[in-house]
């Protein structure tokens, strides 16, 4: 990827330059501290309360600053950057509306445990509390959706606060941390000395598990006749994917990966059963329901996974491995709780476990289900089916792309039909289900991995929620391949209205949306469209061969439903199979 800005020097080179104690302004403290934390790229939008910060950024080229077209675009991009790289994503916005425009993005990151440091400006301290122009109590507003937040009252605290914020964001159960900097603090001068110590008495995540609990896990595996591994986002976030593979191979226990866990276990592996839950596989859902031992690793028993809670995995002894003790026992009682970092837990566990000897009949059963009930749809040569489009993307990229999605039917089809084999290659808003996330998050992912293919899959609804960021793709030549699966309808809502609300289609018609090809072209991004298979293959090939960003619109049938489907209030083995029958 070529960007207009100067070549970024390595942080190590810059470190020396920036470590020197010096009297500088709060704004300069911020920039130096970000640099010392290893930040390469921030996403932001200036405004009154961050003018000093942007003044310090004038001519500053030691990390990239990407000017988005909306603060929501900035934070979703920072989120995509963090999910793709494993580093902390950073964004900057001004006070008041700038800060409140970040709220959806902060909640998105909080629900999916994504490490972000969110910098907001605020009005001068003497104006705080007076309903001043562009004043909002952003620390108060975001308290329930941040891991922690700071309102900086003294410039002397700033370096320490930034150092703490990065530590808190990217350790333990990760999450967004907000730093609100009043304008007078960003203007004030102080002696900057890099913060090296960490004194957080109330924060000490448990990394290493209790050995006695691990022995219980090993013993339970030995006895299990129908064991299942349920692996979630924690596997990806802890970098424990290799340990999970090792664990599964050693024990030969079938694995299901949650929506956020996709890529945490290779989809080509014989032990993989696909995704569980509302739109999960027949195999994964039945395996969970019939299991006598459910080993949940870095997942949190979300309602989209469990379905009706009191009928969930009724015969199973539950092992729950998580870094967040509050997740254990929150929704599902754990018979063997293990608190710790997933990677560390699995490393230690792998020394204790052996093949689950009692589970041979079960393994056969699982393979039988996999053979009998794969995902299916009724293909047609007349027009395009959305599932076919995803299969085509998967086939032409060999499952090697970084895929981001928006929320809705296309998200579920992407989860079902794109076959991930690498962690941090699947970026989707799982917990909050944020429309408008898919496209800007891809920009962040591409910034993290300039040389990888990044595909952003969107519906025609969500694409219109952050389409303004086409500008930053065009201007910075960020080569995201933007896919719009256009069915002219809010598909997932349509599906529910068809199946549950007796075909009463209320306010879901998106016909009359802009011409997406022209929309892309208006921003200087190449736009392509296909309405049949032949064209689809051709325009996709063209998109892949075109350097820089390309938007490809696939016009698909509007009446397609995502199957299987577990309706609310049912246990997960009560699936509407639809075309998967």
Partner 1 sequence: MMTTTKHAIAVSVNDQPGVLQRVSGLFGRRGFNIESITVGQSEEEGLSRMVIVTEGDDQTLEQIEKQLYKLIDVIKVVNLSSKPMVSRELALIKVKAEPAERPEIKSLADTFRASVVDIGTKNMMIQVVGDTEKINAMLELLKPYGIQELSRTGVTAMTRGNA
228 neighbors 288 (Cβ within 8 angstroms): yes
- Member of 191, 326, 354, 577 binding partner 1 (CB under 8 A): 326
Nearer to partner 1, 69 or 300 (CB): 300
Instruction: Confirm or reject binding of residue 140 to partner 1 (CB under 8 A).
Output: yes
Instruction: Confirm or reject binding of residue 144 to partner 1 (CB under 8 A).
Output: yes
Q: Which stretch binds partner 1 (CB under 8 A): 10-18, 37-45, 56-64, 137-145?
A: 137-145
Q: Which stretch binds partner 1 (CB under 8 A): 148-156, 408-416, 439-447, 547-555?
A: 148-156
Instruction: Confirm or reject binding of residue 189 to partner 1 (CB under 8 A).
Output: no
Nearer to partner 1, 321 or 480 (CB): 321
- 481-486 and 454-459 as β-strands: parallel, antiparallel, unpaired? parallel
Instruction: Confirm or reject binding of residue 148 to partner 1 (CB under 8 A).
Output: yes
- Member of 194, 239, 325, 433 binding partner 1 (CB under 8 A): 325
Nearer to partner 1, 331 or 344 (CB): 331
Kindly state the smallest distance separating residue 102's Cβ from partner 1, in Å.
18
Query: Residue 315 has which token pair?
Result: 């015969």
Kindly state the smallest distance separating residue 197's Cβ from partner 1, in Å.
16
Nearer to partner 1, 201 or 507 (CB): 201
Residue found under tokens 């016009």: 555
Q: Which stretch binds partner 1 (CB under 8 A): 44-52, 321-329, 370-378, 566-574?
A: 321-329
Distance CA 318, CA 300 (A): 12
Instruction: Confirm or reject binding of residue 21 to partner 1 (CB under 8 A).
Output: no
- Member of 151, 262, 313, 316 binding partner 1 (CB under 8 A): 151
**What binding mask, one character per residue, do residues 192-211 give for partner 1 by CB under 8 A, x or -?**
--------xxxx--------
Count of chain residues binding partner 1 (CB under 8 A): 18
Nearer to partner 1, 96 or 337 (CB): 337
Kindly state the smallest distance separating residue 327's Cβ from partner 1, in Å.
9
CA distances for 471 relative to 81, 136, 197, 452, 474, angstroms: 18, 28, 41, 21, 5
Kindly state the smallest distance separating residue 326's Cβ from partner 1, in Å.
4
Kindly state the smallest distance separating residue 199's Cβ from partner 1, in Å.
11
CA distances for 438 relative to 160, 220, 451, angstroms: 34, 41, 19
Nearer to partner 1, 146 or 446 (CB): 146
Q: Which stretch binds partner 1 (CB under 8 A): 79-87, 326-334, 439-447, 491-499?
A: 326-334
Distance CA 317, CA 9 (A): 53
Distance CA 72, CA 107 (A): 11
Kindly state the smallest distance separating residue 203's Cβ from partner 1, in Å.
5
Spell out where 258-306 has E strands: 293-297
411 neighbors 428 (Cβ within 8 angstroms): yes
Phi, psi torsion values for 459, nearest 5 degrees: -90, 175
Nearer to partner 1, 180 or 292 (CB): 180
Distance CA 561, CA 437 (A): 22
Of 540, 248, 563, which Cα lies nearest the Cα of 416? 563
Distance CA 21, CA 27 (A): 15
Q: Which stretch binds partner 1 (CB under 8 A): 145-153, 213-221, 307-315, 484-492?
A: 145-153
Instruction: Confirm or reject binding of residue 161 to partner 1 (CB under 8 A).
Output: no
CA dihedral of residues 27, 31, 34, 40 (deg, nearest 10):
140
The residues, ordered by sequence, that sit 6+ positions from 265 with a Cβ below 8 Å of its Cβ are: 231, 235, 241, 244, 245, 248, 255, 257, 271, 272
Write b or e for each residue in 119-155: b if 16 or more Cβ atoms lie within 10 A of its Cβ, otherwise e. bbbbbeeebbeeebebbbebbebbeebbbbbbbbbeb
Distance CA 472, CA 61 (A): 18
Q: Helices marked H in 260-356 — which ranges? A: 282-290, 303-306, 342-349
Kindly state the smallest distance separating residue 507's Cβ from partner 1, in Å.
29
- Member of 139, 428, 458, 571 binding partner 1 (CB under 8 A): 139
Nearer to partner 1, 153 or 422 (CB): 153
Kindly state the smallest distance separating residue 334's Cβ from partner 1, in Å.
11
**What binding mask, one character per residue, do residues 328-367 give for partner 1 by CB under 8 A, x or -?**
-xx-------------------------------------
Q: To the nearest 5 percent, what fractions of the chain are helix, strand and coil?
A: 40, 15, 40
Nearer to partner 1, 194 or 325 (CB): 325
Enumerate the active-site residues. 71, 133-134, 183, 492
- 227-231 and 293-297 as β-strands: parallel, antiparallel, unpaired? parallel
387 neighbors 413 (Cβ within 8 angstroms): yes
Distance CA 407, CA 104 (A): 14
Kindly state the smallest distance separating residue 172's Cβ from partner 1, in Å.
9
- Member of 28, 71, 324, 391 binding partner 1 (CB under 8 A): 324
Residue ranges in contact with partner 1 by CB under 8 A: 139-140, 143-144, 147-148, 151, 153, 168, 200-203, 324-326, 329-330
């Amino acid at each position: 990827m070529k960007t207009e800005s100067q070549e970024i020097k390595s942080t190590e080179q810059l470190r020396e330059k920036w470590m020197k104690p010096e009297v500088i302004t709060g704004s300069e403290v911020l920039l130096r501290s970000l640099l010392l934390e290893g930040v390469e790229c921030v996403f932001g939008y200036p405004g009154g309360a961050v003018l000093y910060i942007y003044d310090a950024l004038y001519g500053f080229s030691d990390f990239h600053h990407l000017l988005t077209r909306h603060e929501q675009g900035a934070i979703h991009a920072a989120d995509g950057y963090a999910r793709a790289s494993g580093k902390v994503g950073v964004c900057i916005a001004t006070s008041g509306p700038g800060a409140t425009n970040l709220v959806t993005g902060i909640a998105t990151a909080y629900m999916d445990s994504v490490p972000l440091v969110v910098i907001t400006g605020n009005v001068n301290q003497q104006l705080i509390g007076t309903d001043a122009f562009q004043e909002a109590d952003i620390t108060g507003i975001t308290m329930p959706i941040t891991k922690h937040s700071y309102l900086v009252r003294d410039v002397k605290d700033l370096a320490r606060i930034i150092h703490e914020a990065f530590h808190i964001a990217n350790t333990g159960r990760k999450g967004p941390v907000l730093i609100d900097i009043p304008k007078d603090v960003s203007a004030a001068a102080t002696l900057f000395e890099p913060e090296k110590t960490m004194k957080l008495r109330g924060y000490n995540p448990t990394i290493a598990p209790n050995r006695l609990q691990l022995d219980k896990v090993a013993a339970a595996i030995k006895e299990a006749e129908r064991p299942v591994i349920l692996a979630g986002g924690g596997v990806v976030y802890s970098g424990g994917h290799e340990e999970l593979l090792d664990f599964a191979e050693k024990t030969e226990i079938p694995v299901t990966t949650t929506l956020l866990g996709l890529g945490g276990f290779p989809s080509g592996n014989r032990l993989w059963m696909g995704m569980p839950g509302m739109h999960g596989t027949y195999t994964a859902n039945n395996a969970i329901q019939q299991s006598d031992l459910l080993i949940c690793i870095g997942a949190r028993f979300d309602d989209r996974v469990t379905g009706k809670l009191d009928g969930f995995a009724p015969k199973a002894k539950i092992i729950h491995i998580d870094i967040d003790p509050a997740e254990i026992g929150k929704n599902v009682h754990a018979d063997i709780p293990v608190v710790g970092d997933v990677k560390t837990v699995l490393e230690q566990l792998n020394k204790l476990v052996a093949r689950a000897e009692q589970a041979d009949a079960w393994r056969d059963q699982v393979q039988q289900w996999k053979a009998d009930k794969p995902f299916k749809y009724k293909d047609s040569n007349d027009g395009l089916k959305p599932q076919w489009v995803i299969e085509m993307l998967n086939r032409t990229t060999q499952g090697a792309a970084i895929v981001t999605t928006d929320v809705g039917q296309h998200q579920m089809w992407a989860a079902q039909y794109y076959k991930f084999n690498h962690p941090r290659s699947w970026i989707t808003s799982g917990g909050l289900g944020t429309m408008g996330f898919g496209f800007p998050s891809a920009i962040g992912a591409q910034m993290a991995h300039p040389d990888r293919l990044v595909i952003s899959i969107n519906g025609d609804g969500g694409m219109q929620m952050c389409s303004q960021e086409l500008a930053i793709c065009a201007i910075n030549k960020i080569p995201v391949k933007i896919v719009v699966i256009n069915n002219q309808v809010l598909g997932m809502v349509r599906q529910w209205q068809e199946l549950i609300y007796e075909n009463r289609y209320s306010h879901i018609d998106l016909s009359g949306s802009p011409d997406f090809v022209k929309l892309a072209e208006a921003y200087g991004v190449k736009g392509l469209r296909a309405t049949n298979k032949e064209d689809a293959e051709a325009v996709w090939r063209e998109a892949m061969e075109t350097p820089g960003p390309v938007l490809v619109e696939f016009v698909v049938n509007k009446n397609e439903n995502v199957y299987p489907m577990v309706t609310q209030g049912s246990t997960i083995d009560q699936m509407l199979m639809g075309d998967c029958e």
